[in-house]
Structure 1
Amino acid sequence: MTDASRGGAVSDGSARWERAADLFADWRAGETRAIDDLVRLMTPVLWHVVRAYGLERSLAEDVVQSTWLALVRASESVADARAISGWLTTTARREAWKVAKGHRRADATSDEILEPMLPAQESAEAEVAASDESRRLWAAVGTLDERCRRLLRIIAFDDRPDYANLAGELEMPIGSIGPTRRRCLVKLRAELVRTGAATEGDGDG
């Protein structure tokens, strides 16, 4: 499921996080090229997280860039290299939420605010769909209702979501995030089964 070569494609899931941890550890050990590979690996993920906040392209680019700059400045604060993926996605999510709050138009409808705005042209986030599996997954996410799309894009890459903070950002009661996430995942699996991207038994047990 993975290409173990330096900078090679890595499928979504634990392999991506493990690869990110290795690259981060290599970079802190003095291997300067490792940070370039880490950026290539994780930027598509950060794009999905950031664009879930409805930011226009230029603002999303700024947030992703700010996330990487924050890592350069605070790399020593990440005590465990295995936490780097969570650190990056959490930092990007918080910055995107802050920027989105500051740029909401007074006359914007909630749909305009919440709708993930993916660019029509090929760009950095398209890299996350490099594998057929990823393309099918995000195509299926796109068929879900707006709340499910946003929720899954924000927490899909977070192993331990901070529900307390997410409740404020998503404007949802904290107790409803878990059940809503489960319902959204059920809908997602049904769509994947319908399109042949998954079978009924996938993920059981």
Structure 2
Amino acid sequence: MAPTTSRSGAGAVWAEAEERFRGWVNGATGDDGLDGLVRVMTPVLWHVVRAYRLEQDAAEDVIQTTWLALVRRRDAIEDPAAVGGWLTTTARREAWRTSSATRRAVPTEDETIALHLPRQRSAETAALESEEADRLWLAVDTLPERCRRLLRIVAFENRPDYSEVAATLDMPVGSIGPTRGRCLAKLRVALLQTGALS
């Protein structure tokens, strides 16, 4: 059964996920480690996966696959602050793959449904997007810490709770927008310097 939880601010969820991931990497167990990370992020993953209109069993499989991928590839996550984004991206890709396979196996009579499902990308497009994402995050890593943390929060949340962001980053709510603008300008310069933008 899908877990239910009251939604807290995005910044708080991302910060707690980062803390639990750090604990796990450093050998913590129980709620201070992987168990705590699962507790914090599973409701978020359910939200991501169910957007693909998967059946309950398929959604559970996608989430389990996402956690297995993290266990196998945790060393690939160099910045613990990125674990929330890594998990949601992995879940989104697996949900898309699963929904695509389901559509191929069981053709639907209602063609209008297909218009609302994620569109299939070519392998070349997926590889290009992955390469672009790698260049982007390498550029983000060159920015000051406050910019790195702020951009990670706003990158993975459509409507971040500014009061939570302010508390997480220890900055006034009114300065978040201007700071984000300055950070994006710095990011653009970094991307230009690396040749990622022309």
**Kept in 1: contact 2:77–2:83 (CA 8 A):** yes
Q: Deviations over 1:47-99 (max 9, x none)?
A: 01001011100000000000000000000000000000000000000000000
Q: Aligned residue for 1:189?
A: none
Relative distance call for 1:10 and 1:53 in structure 2 (3 A) is: closer
Where has structure 1 moved over 3 Å in runs of 4 or more? 110-115
Q: Which moved more, 1:102-111 or 1:10-19?
A: 102-111
When residues 159 and 110 of structure 1 are mapped into structure 2, their CA distance, relative to the original with a 3 A threshold, is farther
Task: Measure, in 1, the Cα distance between the counterparts of 2:68 and 2:62.
Answer: 10
Q: TM-score, normalised by structure 2?
A: 0.53
Answer with 1 or 2: which has the greater Rg: 2
**Structure 1, unaligned stretches of length 5 or more?**
1-7, 116-156, 162-180, 186-203
Q: CA deviation at 1:158?
A: 7.8
Q: Are 2:104 and 1:107 aligned?
A: no
The alpha-carbon distance between structure 1 residues 158 and 49, as it changes in their structure 2 partners (threshold 3 A), is: farther
Q: Which residue of 2 aligns with 1:94?
A: 93
- Point out the structure with the larger helix share: 2
Q: Alignment partner for residue 155 of structure 2, among 160, 172, 179?
A: 160
The corresponding residue for 2:141 is none
> How many residue pairs were aligned?
118
- Does the 8 Å contact 1:50/1:63 carry over to 2? yes
**Whole-Å Cα distance in 2 between the matches of residues 30 and 72 of structure 1?**
13
- Give the match for residue 48 of structure 2: 49
- Which TM-score applies when normalising by structure 1? 0.51
2:10, 2:153 within 8 Å by CA — same for their partners in 1?
Answer: no
1:159 CA drift (Å)? 4.1
- Gap runs ≥5 in structure 2: 118-151, 160-176, 179-198
